[in-house]
Amino acid sequence: MALIFIGILPLLLGISMWLQQKLNPAPTDPTQAMIFAWMPWVFMFMLGGFASGLVIYWIANNVITFVQQYLIMRTHGYKPDIWGNIRAGNRKTATETSDAGSKKTKK
């Protein structure tokens, strides 16, 4: 049985990518939104075996980019609603799941 062991740095990379993604609203195309939703977690496992210095660099880059983008948006008068985007994403997935279940039962 093969087990997947993942360290703290790849986890931090996935979380930083996910938070950076939540700074912006989700794309309107459902396929693109689904791919973007899975991308941080795929990269977390895919890049888990890379050298830790490289993963630290990517985490630092994600955090700096997040802060920079947030501050630029604030200086231009737009207040990013990160928690609203997170909640909207959770509601959307719950709605899509229930819609998929109701479509199966209708057929």
Residue scoring higher pLDDT (39 or 79): 39
Write down the pLDDT at residue 97: 47
For residue 68, what pLDDT is reported? 93
Asked whether 48 and 8 are in contact (CB, 8 A), the reply is no
- At 4, is the pLDDT very low, low, confident or very high (cuts 50, 70, 90)? low
The pLDDT-based confidence of 32 (bands split at 50, 70, 90) is very high
pTM of the model: 0.70
State the residue for tokens 């941080």: 40
CA triplet 29, 31, 36: central angle to 5 degrees?
A: 95
